[in-house]
């Protein structure tokens, strides 16, 4: 972590977009005043606020205490019993049994629509199968699937019987899968014969076979038939899903589970190589995702909601599966790549199903920008009423493009800040209430006490950068790191006294809006001025010739750190720059004009792609090592395209 207090913030963004009047009047929280009232109410008595939210849901036993806080351990709704799967499915059967719960489209163009009734039955059936296979409350089940309905069904079935799921992203390697299975001690693995990605089959079952070879806890493997390809089946261990469910009852009464019963483990990268198993529990997580989905996406009965995240990430857990289903909404799920067979696939899906709410990541938006607006222009996107982003700071350039080209200038954008650890959205505009500023996640949601502070916990004045913290526990917070409570306490609750430390740097402006500047370990210190790498990147991306940029620090004798920028230029005939000395000079000058001489990159390297994790985050750690001229070390299991690394290294020589 960086030393000292402030992080110099240099990004200036003055545009403000009020919620459109028609949107505001029809929304759940229709004005900034109403938001403020709710926020103040929650501040006066946070426990009463959360208890009020929780009463919307069904409980088999009431709580005796809303919050039991023994820092750093929180217990929410203690004494209560409930079931998440029941609240996602059974609760809606009487009122919306025949409404579409899940609209699924496979990459080859096949589709399935499951109503609440059907999803309920499939879930009950699979819950019964899990029980037959010997899975019991508290047992861990690894789910390693493509984006198919069975992924959601398996999660809901685990939650139904009280098994703890650990979804592992289908793009991870066999080794990464094995590490996660072993860390969690999973008893059963749910996988598929394969999945489709960019027209090719991803051989998931083969990866499971390799992983399970050295994963002694695994007793059974359940295989979804997706591609129909022949795969090796180990007798006694492996069975096909469709054979297992045959003739099994579609009735199952959801288990009544204690509020703090562990719901899932989800692995996320830390600053060290070993991934951390973030643990979420039942009731608090349920209350958090239920209320944030409703408020932030302003869900209405006729919405068709699409979050493009994979279920292998927390966004897929909270905002593809649990949040929308808790609200009785229709959630869209797409199996494949956004550019298959052509770069308009997502726009085609929006057009086809009349999607009204679309939630994606800035990295995807920048790819769409690079592909060009001719692709969305081929389709009718008039059904859209709300757009969202998550995962990283969005540069104002991409925000404006998203608003104009995808949102037709009429849809509010919710820039939602949160983490795997927070379980649910923490800071975001409410679309009918909060005026938005491109690049800001605006203000915390009611009940969430966020602050920007120095290392000793003192709030910093408006405009000044500092550490982003949460001052109070919230229901959907992580409870521990699986098998390592000490790491939990150390990583999250010891950097800033009395606060949960997010690992992010941020500033707040005079309107109380939060501007997240990225991880504090992505901060560069140049001649005593600390700069958020995102701000320099944002300036570079604002240049019309630049598609994408990543900025890292390199040790420098004179200035402490020098700024190295890795830049991808836009291709095609409209391109205004060719990689080379002239382009380098032009971009340096551009950054100087945008931010000031302090941010001028010392070195700009052109590359045709940046190394990214499979979730699309730029791997700055690797770029730092390349910039410093060293070897790359550590865990690269999350790297999307390892060849890029090799090329960057080769350029270095
Ligand atoms: O640095 C912040 C960034 O993503 C981190 C959390 O990553 P992860 O646990 O993978 O979860 C991603 C999906 C919730 C944060 O610490 N981040 C996430 N959303 C935003 C963001 N940074 C800026 N603005 C956001 N909206």
- Report residue 71 as tokens: 């820092």
The 3-class SS string of 453-512 reads: ECCCCCECCCCCEEEEEECCCCCCCCCEECCCHHHHHHHHHCCCCCCEEEEEEEEECCCC
Shared domain check, 474 and 531: no
- Report residue 533 as tokens: 């790498």
* Ranges 351-360, 394-403, 409-418: which has the least confidence: 394-403
Beta strands in 310-449 (DSSP E): 330-334, 357-360, 386-390, 413-416
Measure the CA dihedral 201/202/203/205, to 10°. Answer: -120
Shared domain check, 586 and 531: yes
CA of 502 to the centre of ligand 1 (A): 10
pLDDT for 644 equals 64
Shared domain check, 212 and 110: yes
* Ranges 32-41, 365-374, 474-483: which has the least confidence: 365-374
What's the rounded mean pLDDT across residues 28-42? 98
User: What does the buried/exposed string (b/e) look like for 536-570 if buried means 16 or more CB atoms within 10 Å of the residue's CB?
Assistant: bbbbbbbbebbbbbbbbbbeeeebebbbbbbbbbb
CA of 269 to the centre of ligand 1 (A): 12
* Ranges 54-68, 141-155, 354-368: which has the least confidence: 354-368
Return the ligand 1 atom nearest residue 518 CA.
1
Shared domain check, 50 and 170: yes
2 falls in which pLDDT band (50, 70, 90)?
A: very low
Percent of the chain whose pLDDT exceeds 90: 75
538 lies in some domain: yes
| CATH classification at residue 646 | 3.30.300.30
511 lies in some domain: no
Q: Find out whether 318 and 325 touch, Cβ atoms under 8 Å.
A: no
Return the ligand 1 atom nearest residue 502 CA.
16
Is the pLDDT at 8 greater than 80, yes or no?
no
Residue 548 near ligand 1, beta carbon < 6 Å: no
Of 163, 130, 616, which is closest to residue 392 (Cα–Cα)? 616
Mutate to test the pocket of ligand 1, among 417, 481, 506 (most ligand atoms within 8 A of CB): 417
- How far apart (Å, rounded) are the C-alpha atoms in residues 414 and 426? 12
Residue 503 near ligand 1, beta carbon < 6 Å: yes
Shared domain check, 379 and 495: yes
Shared domain check, 566 and 476: no
Q: Which residue minimizes the CA distance to atom 22 of ligand 1?
A: 392
Distances (CA, A) of 19 to 26, 381, 526: 11, 19, 39
pLDDT for 272 equals 47
What's the rounded mean pLDDT across residues 303-318? 96
11 lies in some domain: no
613 falls in which pLDDT band (50, 70, 90)?
A: confident
Of 238, 209, 214, 207, which is closest to residue 224 (Cα–Cα)? 238
Mutate to test the pocket of ligand 1, among 516, 522, 538, 613 (most ligand atoms within 8 A of CB): 516
9 falls in which pLDDT band (50, 70, 90)?
A: low
3-state SS, residue 561: strand
Shared domain check, 121 and 30: yes
Residue 422 near ligand 1, beta carbon < 6 Å: no
pLDDT in tens, 493-521: 999 999 999 988 999 999 999 999 877 76
CA of 417 to the centre of ligand 1 (A): 6
Shared domain check, 639 and 604: yes
pLDDT for 611 equals 85
Residue 266 near ligand 1, beta carbon < 6 Å: no
pLDDT for 641 equals 52
640 falls in which pLDDT band (50, 70, 90)?
A: very low
- Report residue 34 as tokens: 């109403």
Shared domain check, 532 and 432: no
CA of 393 to the centre of ligand 1 (A): 8
Is the preceding peptide bond at 494 cis, omega within 30 degrees of 0? no
Residue 315 near ligand 1, beta carbon < 6 Å: yes
Shared domain check, 468 and 379: yes
pLDDT in tens, 207-248: 999 999 999 999 999 999 999 999 999 999 999 999 999 999
Is the pLDDT at 618 greater than 90, yes or no?
no
520 lies in some domain: no
Q: Which residue minimizes the CA distance to atom 21 of ligand 1?
A: 392
Return the ligand 1 atom nearest residue 418 CA.
14
Domain boundary among 506, 541, 572: 506
Residue 238 near ligand 1, beta carbon < 6 Å: no
The 3-class SS string of 292-327 reads: HHHHHCCCCCCCEEEECCCCCCHHHHHHHHHHHHHC
- Sequence-ordered list of residues with C-beta below 8 angstroms from that of 376, at least 6 positions apart, any chain: 344, 347, 368, 405, 406
Is the pLDDT at 13 greater than 90, yes or no?
no
Shared domain check, 568 and 423: no
CA of 539 to the centre of ligand 1 (A): 20
pLDDT for 12 equals 65
Domain boundary among 506, 537, 558: 506
Q: Which residue minimizes the CA distance to atom 12 of ligand 1?
A: 391
pLDDT for 5 equals 40
pLDDT in tens, 106-155: 999 999 999 999 999 999 999 999 999 999 999 999 999 999 999 999 99
Residue 537 near ligand 1, beta carbon < 6 Å: no
Q: Which residue minimizes the CA distance to atom 11 of ligand 1?
A: 419
3 lies in some domain: no
Q: Find out whether 129 and 111 touch, Cβ atoms under 8 Å.
A: no
Residue 314 near ligand 1, beta carbon < 6 Å: yes
Return the ligand 1 atom nearest residue 417 CA.
26
CA of 392 to the centre of ligand 1 (A): 5
534 lies in some domain: yes
4 lies in some domain: no
Looking at the structure of the chain, the number of domains it has is: 2
pLDDT for 527 equals 59
329 lies in some domain: yes
Shared domain check, 568 and 479: no
The C-alpha angle 466, 470, 471, rounded to 5 degrees, equals: 105
572 falls in which pLDDT band (50, 70, 90)?
A: low
Q: Which residue minimizes the CA distance to atom 26 of ligand 1?
A: 417
Domain of 414? 21-253+260-506
Of 539, 541, 535, which is closest to residue 518 (Cα–Cα)? 535
CA of 422 to the centre of ligand 1 (A): 10
What's the rounded mean pLDDT across residues 534-544? 85
Residue 391 near ligand 1, beta carbon < 6 Å: yes
Return the ligand 1 atom nearest residue 441 CA.
26
Mutate to test the pocket of ligand 1, among 313, 392, 444 (most ligand atoms within 8 A of CB): 392
Domain boundary among 439, 474, 506: 506
| CATH classification at residue 201 | 3.40.50.12780
């Amino acid at each position: 972590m960086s030393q000292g207090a402030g992080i110099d913030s240099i990004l200036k963004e003055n545009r403000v977009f009020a919620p459109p009047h028609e949107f505001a009047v029809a929304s759940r929280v229709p004005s900034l005043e109403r938001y403020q009232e709710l926020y103040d109410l929650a501040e006066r008595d946070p426990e009463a606020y959360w208890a009020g939210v929780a009463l919307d849901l069904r409980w088999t036993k009431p709580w005796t205490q809303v919050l039991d806080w023994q820092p750093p351990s929180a217990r929410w709704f203690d004494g209560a019993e409930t079931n998440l799967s029941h609240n996602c499915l059974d609760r809606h059967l009487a009122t919306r049994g025949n409404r579409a719960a899940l609209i699924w489209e496979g990459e080859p163009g096949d589709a399935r629509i499951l109503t609440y009734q059907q999803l309920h039955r499939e879930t009950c059936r699979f819950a019964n199968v899990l029980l037959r296979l010997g899975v019991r409350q508290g047992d861990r089940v690894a789910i390693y699937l493509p984006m198919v309905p069975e992924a959601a069904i398996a999660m809901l079935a685990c939650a139904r019987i009280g098994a703890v799921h650990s979804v592992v992203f289908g793009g991870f390697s066999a080794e990464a899968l094995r590490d996660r299975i072993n860390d969690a001690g999973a008893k059963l693995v749910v996988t598929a014969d394969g999945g489709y990605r960019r027209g090719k089959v991803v051989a998931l079952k083969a990866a499971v076979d390799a992983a399970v070879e050295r994963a002694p806890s695994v007793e059974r493997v359940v295989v979804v038939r997706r591609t129909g390809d022949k795969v090796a089946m180990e007798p006694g261990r492996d069975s096909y899903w469709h054979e297992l469910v045959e003739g099994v009852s579609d009735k199952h009464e959801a288990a009544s589970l204690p509020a703090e019963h562990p719901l899932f483990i989800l692995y996320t990268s830390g600053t060290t190589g070993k991934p951390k198993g973030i643990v979420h529990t039942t009731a608090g997580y349920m209350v958090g995702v239920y209320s944030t989905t409703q408020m932030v996406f302003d869900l209405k009965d006729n919405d068709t909601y699409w979050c493009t995240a994979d279920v292998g990430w927390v966004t897929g857990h909270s905002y593809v599966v649990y949040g929308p289903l808790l609200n009785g909404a229709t959630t869209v799920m797409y199996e494949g790549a956004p550019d298959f067979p052509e770069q308009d696939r997502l726009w085609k899906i929006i057009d086809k199903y009349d999607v009204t709410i679309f939630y994606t990541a800035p990295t995807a938006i920048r790819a769409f920008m690079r592909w060009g607006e001719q692709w969305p222009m081929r389709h009718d996107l008039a059904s859209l009423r709300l757009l969202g982003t998550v995962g990283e700071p969005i540069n104002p350039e991409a925000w404006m493009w998203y608003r104009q080209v995808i949102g037709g200038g009429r849809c509010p954008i919710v820039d939602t800040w949160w983490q795997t650890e927070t379980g649910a959205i923490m800071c975001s505009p409410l679309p009918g209430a909060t005026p938005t500023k491109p690049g800001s996640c605006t203000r915390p949601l009611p009940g969430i006490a966020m602050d920007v502070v120095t290392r000793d916990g003192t709030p910093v004045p408006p405009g000044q950068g500092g550490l982003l913290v949460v001052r109070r526990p919230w229901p959907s917070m992580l409870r521990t790191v699986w098998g390592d409570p000490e790491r939990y306490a150390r990583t999250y609750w010891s950097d800033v006294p009395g606060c949960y430390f997010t690992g992010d740097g941020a500033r707040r402006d005079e309107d109380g809006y939060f501007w997240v500047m990225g991880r504090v370990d992505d901060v560069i210190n140049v001649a005593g001025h600390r700069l958020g790498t995102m701000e320099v990147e944002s300036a570079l991306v604002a240049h019309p010739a630049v598609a994408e940029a990543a900025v890292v620090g390199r040790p420098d004798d004179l200035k402490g750190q020098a700024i190295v920028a890795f830049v991808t230029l836009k291709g095609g005939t409209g391109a205004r720059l060719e990689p080379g000395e002239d382009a380098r000079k032009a971009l340096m000058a551009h950054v100087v004009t945008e931010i000031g001489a302090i941010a001028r990159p010392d070195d700009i390297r052109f590359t045709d792609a940046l190394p990214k994790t499979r979730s699309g985050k730029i791997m700055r750690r690797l770029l730092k090592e390349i910039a410093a001229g060293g070897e790359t070390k550590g865990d690269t299991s999350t790297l999307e395209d390892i060849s890029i690394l090799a090329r960057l290294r080769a350029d270095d020589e």
